[in-house]
Amino acid sequence: MNRLKNLPTLRIDAERVLSFTYRGKTCQGLEGDTVATALYANGVRVFGRSLKYHRPRGLYSLDGECSNTMMEVDGVPNVRAEATVLASGMTVKPQNIKGSPEFDLMGFMDGLSWAMPAGFYYRVFHKPARIWPAAIKQIRQAAGLGTLSPDFRMKGRFDEIYPAAEVCVIGGGPAGMAAALAAAEQGLRVILLESRPWLGGAFEYRTTADSSGTALFESARELARKVERTAGIRIFTHAPVVGVYTDGQVTAVQRGGADQSFDERYIEIRARSVVAATGCIERPLLFENNERPGIMQTECALRLARTWGILPGSEAVFSIGHDQGLEAAIDLCDLGLKVAVVADTREDGQDALLLDALAQRRIPFLKGWVAQKAHGSRQISSATLSSLNGHFNRELPCDLLVASAGLTPVTGPLTLAEAKLSYDSRTGFFLPNELPAWLYAAGRLLGLAHFEAIAASGRLAGLRAAQRCGAEAAAGIRDCESRLKELPGPVRGSKFVSAPRAGKKAFVCFDEDTTLKNVDQAMDMGFDVPELIKRFTSAGTGPGQGGIPGHNLPLYVNQSGSSPDSQPRPTLTRPPLVPTLMAAYAGAGHAMAKRTPLHELQKADGGRMETVGDWKRARRFSDDVRCRAEITNVRTNVGLLDASTLGKFRLFGPDALKALQRVYVSDMSRMHAGKAKYSAMCNDDGCLTDDGVIVQTGESEYYFTTSTGRAGVTSEWIRYHTRFDNWDFSLVNLTDAYGVINIAGPNARAVLSKVTPAAVDNEAFPYMGYREFDVGGVAVRALRLGFVGELSYELHVPSSWMAGVWGVLTEAGREFGIRNFGLEAQNALRLDKGHIIIGSESEQRTTLHDLGLGFLWHRHKPEARTVGDGALRHTEKQSGRLKLVGLKMEDASAQPPGDGSPIVDKRIRGYVCTARYSVALKEPVGMALVEEGLAAEGSRLAIYEDGCEGRLIYAKVAKKPFYDPEGERLRS
């Protein structure tokens, strides 16, 4: 297609040709094209098919306000072709078609619209109930735009940025630019967000002169240059706002390119003041077949020509309701478009100069007329115009119908900010009448149309925003208010919504194929509020984020008289305001996981690393998911476990003991030098929240451990539960300061004694003892514990020395065949002993007593007001509670039941917490939480495994610990 040349408004470079592929065919566009304009220049008119009826759809708005031009680009579905800059080598495909966009085999669905009335999703297919599973399968296959494989991996460079500013301006038109300049003059940092690739807004491409005789686009560009030169203003173009939240938080997603370090990046700003200068979009005109390819809005037609040099058609009919529509007809006529007629829904009020211009060009003009029907199957071939009273009509041939009901403000950011909007009958706009203190509105969205008035309102908003940030702007504000009074105010807008006898295919929502008839059906069924009608008909719930139905829906409903509100009310908007990739929200997407000091060594030793909470940990060290070799090695020899993730804390101060007494259920005053004390913390319900060991390391100083999962909240927990006591104690989180090596197994002592001069025999260092000595010359804290049920030492080593100490132990243990064991082996080993893991065998309903840990609770320290004390007293003998029991399978050769499997009879009576095959006992063992009635030793438990299809398996309640019940091995 030949492009218009030498227009001062063009944003393409005719010398730089870009090749891309569409439906397997190589096409060409120009640098500066969007995917949509490049396709249009290549003669594409049908871009895809609609969701439900598979109706052909084409270019309509050029800002991606509907899903008409959502296409697959480079394998990514649902890309807004209108908002995507063309790049060389792109592969573009249409969506939702079987065959071709022009000849879609699913096009017959259009003839079945009678079978899909409003709300049919909710009303059909559920009676009889048996047809629903089959129906839902078919609906899911037929529904949706674009396809995505579950294996799909998003390619591209995504980033995130949190720029700081005092004032954030949304909208880069004259009002937004003036606001940014005003705020920056006050010395404030300003961020300006503009969704299009350049500043200028709705004036960027208009050649009409303003009151000074300067073409609007020149005034807009001059202002843009001034903004770009101003140091305190950071401009983000191609950055549509996606969210506005409380207290001035604004989010946007910016499109990058080959010359930038990102393809898309998430922008998050917390500004003290925000100016919304988002301007207007056009309100769609509703008539029969109003969405045919070849029908487009005024700005779309004009921008195609002025910005991209593409004449939108050859013979056009205009059906508009605002002066901009007249302006566009005149301009496009001058550029070579044959304009057959201009129909204006307004009976009067047009700009006289524009009417003269139409007359000079001999363009027929019809006042009080509107498009009633578009003809043509895949593309418009003619349009029927009608007088507003419906008495007169005319059909005219055309390949382009420029249709618009007028302007409507972009209020999405305002409603997200919880501004209150009300309908103004003069402008026909929803205007803000109550804004949050930090939000200011300006420009066309207030109904202004005069360039200088728009800029002045922007300046005023910018000064007010600056004043809120502490700037001395009172005088400037007064001047601005005076100036604004002298300029033209809000203009009379169009309230027109739909043509008379609009027909059954007048679409109010292009995304969801919702027609006016569907809206009528919903109202006939009793829905009288736009919010409910929206959801019942799904109008505005599609990927266009409500851009097309926008304000038409509430206006139409209000006109019907069905609504209980006397004035129309806009429907709610929710973020994101424009369709946004999940990858963009994820930003740079850096995984932030914690690593122990032994991470690389564990990996080098074959560790299969997994994310467990905040940490990367080795699950196992071989392909055997049961870890039999690791387990056997610990039971018979010696193994090493990286337990560095345990929480570790230093507690000190005159009232340190009081703090311990408050949070631990045991009597913490009974601690002995050189001995570790095991205890637990509960919440106010007496339920176990944490356990660990505590060692007294000074007169008022303690070192204690917590579970990995609670390490991050322990400080807050203790502070919270002592917040009214004004005690003098301090807490330092040393979780990452020490790594922990657990050396366990019958040969553990033999290995350890090789690397330390300290005495580590049973007499010198008994079970539950605490010592400090050197290993490999490094000072360590050592505890003798027995979580896995064998002779075991827990060495707390300063993190920077961990690799060295680990190396020393490994070297010393080589003669014994020392090897690593991981989390899974540890899990199975401790299960043999009936030792619990918080969150595996405990849950929010289980108290200390339920878990068999009631022995930890010291009931005679009421002065301590221990957390959970009251609940423990109350529930100690309470019946009807879940109890933790051991279980063994009736068939010792059976597989262990899956974790979480329900225990049943006529109803669920409990569940299996954890079950594994015990290498030592050569049979499966496990622990379960069961109702009290099943807790007695020997009770039979029927277990329902996922997928068992009713074939239960059986276990018996067995005494714990299963292995070494007397604890001889761990005390050896």
Q: How far is the CB of 726 from other proteins (least distance, A)?
A: 10
Range 270-299, binding other proteins (CB under 8 A): 270
CB 847 within 8 A of CB 682: yes
Q: In terms of CB distance, is 525 or 609 closer to other proteins?
A: 609
Output DSSP code: residue 279.
-
Choose which of 108, 152, 162, 720 interacts with other proteins (CB under 8 A): 162
With CB under 8 A as the contact rule, which of the stretches 300-308, 588-596, 847-855, 895-903 interacts with other proteins? 588-596
CB 960 within 8 A of CB 886: yes
Choose which of 144, 436, 804, 961 interacts with other proteins (CB under 8 A): 804
Q: How far is CA 820 from CA 558, 620, 695, 825, in A?
A: 73, 9, 27, 10
H or E element that contains 135: helix 132-142
H or E element that contains 159: strand 158-161
Q: How many CA atoms lie within 13 A of 577 on its CB side?
A: 23
Choose which of 737, 764, 921, 936 interacts with other proteins (CB under 8 A): 737
Our finding on whether 451 is near other proteins (CB under 8 A) is no
Choose which of 531, 605, 736, 932 interacts with other proteins (CB under 8 A): 736
SS3 for 217? helix
Our finding on whether 408 is near other proteins (CB under 8 A) is no
Choose which of 673, 855, 877, 880 interacts with other proteins (CB under 8 A): 673
Q: How far is the CB of 694 from other proteins (least distance, A)?
A: 14
CB 233 within 8 A of CB 227: yes
Beta-strand runs (E) in 195-308: 233-236, 241-245, 249-255, 264-270, 273-276, 280-283, 295-296
Calculate the CA 299 to chain-centre distance.
Answer: 32
Our finding on whether 802 is near other proteins (CB under 8 A) is yes
Neighbours of 41 (CB within 10 A): 21
Choose which of 124, 609, 803, 942 interacts with other proteins (CB under 8 A): 803
Residue with tokens 């490049």: 38
Q: How far is the CB of 270 from other proteins (least distance, A)?
A: 6
Our finding on whether 588 is near other proteins (CB under 8 A) is yes
Kindly report whether the peptide bond that precedes residue 488 is cis, defined as omega within 30 degrees of 0: no
Q: In terms of CB distance, is 156 or 777 closer to other proteins?
A: 777
Our finding on whether 732 is near other proteins (CB under 8 A) is yes
Choose which of 160, 218, 531, 932 interacts with other proteins (CB under 8 A): 160
Q: In terms of CB distance, is 501 or 814 closer to other proteins?
A: 814
Our finding on whether 720 is near other proteins (CB under 8 A) is no
Kindly report whether the peptide bond that precedes residue 965 is cis, defined as omega within 30 degrees of 0: no
Neighbours of 205 (CB within 10 A): 24
Q: How far is the CB of 232 from other proteins (least distance, A)?
A: 10
Beta-strand runs (E) in 586-687: 608-612, 615-620, 639-642, 647-652, 677-682
Our finding on whether 671 is near other proteins (CB under 8 A) is no
Q: In terms of CB distance, is 694 or 831 closer to other proteins?
A: 694
Our finding on whether 261 is near other proteins (CB under 8 A) is yes
Choose which of 606, 653, 852, 967 interacts with other proteins (CB under 8 A): 653
Q: Which residues contact 852 (CB under 8 A, 6 or more apart)?
A: 884, 960
Q: How far is the CB of 774 from other proteins (least distance, A)?
A: 7
Q: Which of 762, 763, 760, 804 is nearest to 782 (CA)?
A: 760
Q: In terms of CB distance, is 17 or 779 closer to other proteins?
A: 779
Our finding on whether 613 is near other proteins (CB under 8 A) is no
Our finding on whether 610 is near other proteins (CB under 8 A) is no
Strands 420-424 and 406-409: what pairing?
unpaired
Q: How far is the CB of 737 from other proteins (least distance, A)?
A: 3
C-alpha–C-alpha distance, residues 810 and 812, integer Å: 5
Q: How far is the CB of 177 from other proteins (least distance, A)?
A: 23
With CB under 8 A as the contact rule, which of the stretches 530-538, 619-627, 792-800, 826-834 interacts with other proteins? 792-800
Total residues at interface with other proteins (CB under 8 A): 61
Choose which of 40, 801, 911, 917 interacts with other proteins (CB under 8 A): 801
Neighbours of 942 (CB within 10 A): 14
With CB under 8 A as the contact rule, which of the stretches 206-214, 634-642, 796-804, 930-938 interacts with other proteins? 796-804
SS3 for 911? strand
Q: How far is CA 60 from CA 6, 70, 324, 401, 844, in A?
A: 25, 12, 17, 10, 56
Q: In terms of CB distance, is 250 or 903 closer to other proteins?
A: 250
Q: How far is the CB of 650 from other proteins (least distance, A)?
A: 6
C-alpha–C-alpha distance, residues 964 and 966, integer Å: 6
Choose which of 67, 799, 847, 866 interacts with other proteins (CB under 8 A): 799
Q: How far is CA 744 from CA 751, 796, 826, in A?
A: 10, 14, 10
Q: In terms of CB distance, is 270 or 956 closer to other proteins?
A: 270
Q: How far is CA 918 from CA 626, 637, 774, 794, 845, in A?
A: 10, 17, 36, 23, 28
Our finding on whether 42 is near other proteins (CB under 8 A) is no
Our finding on whether 622 is near other proteins (CB under 8 A) is no
Choose which of 527, 615, 944, 963 interacts with other proteins (CB under 8 A): 615
Our finding on whether 777 is near other proteins (CB under 8 A) is yes
Please calculate the CA angle 215-217-223 and round it to the nearest 5 degrees.
Answer: 105
Q: Which residues contact 781 (CB under 8 A, 6 or more apart)?
A: 695, 703, 738, 770, 771, 772, 795, 796
Q: Which of 203, 209, 279, 307 is nearest to 448 (CA)?
A: 279
Choose which of 13, 418, 481, 772 interacts with other proteins (CB under 8 A): 772
Q: In terms of CB distance, is 737 or 948 closer to other proteins?
A: 737
Choose which of 40, 287, 738, 917 interacts with other proteins (CB under 8 A): 738
Chain length of the chain: 972
Our finding on whether 566 is near other proteins (CB under 8 A) is no
Residues 810-849, one symbol each (x = binds other proteins by CB under 8 A, - = not), give -x--------------------------------------
Q: How far is the CB of 738 from other proteins (least distance, A)?
A: 7
With CB under 8 A as the contact rule, which of the stretches 678-686, 797-805, 882-890, 914-922 interacts with other proteins? 797-805
Neighbours of 518 (CB within 10 A): 26
Kindly report whether the peptide bond that precedes residue 570 is cis, defined as omega within 30 degrees of 0: no
CB 724 within 8 A of CB 889: no
Output DSSP code: residue 116.
S
Q: How far is the CB of 474 from other proteins (least distance, A)?
A: 21
Residues 682-701, one symbol each (x = binds other proteins by CB under 8 A, - = not), give --------------xxxxxx
Q: How far is the CB of 273 from other proteins (least distance, A)?
A: 15
Beta-strand runs (E) in 834-960: 882-889, 902-904, 908-918, 923-931, 940-943, 953-958
Choose which of 45, 54, 221, 599 interacts with other proteins (CB under 8 A): 599
Our finding on whether 597 is near other proteins (CB under 8 A) is yes
With CB under 8 A as the contact rule, which of the stretches 62-70, 364-372, 426-434, 729-737 interacts with other proteins? 729-737
Our finding on whether 778 is near other proteins (CB under 8 A) is yes
Q: How far is the CB of 42 from other proteins (least distance, A)?
A: 35
Contact positions toward other proteins, by CB under 8 A?
159-164, 189, 261, 268, 270, 588, 590-597, 599, 614-615, 650, 652-653, 673, 696-701, 703, 728, 730-738, 755, 772, 774, 776-779, 781, 798-804, 807-808, 811
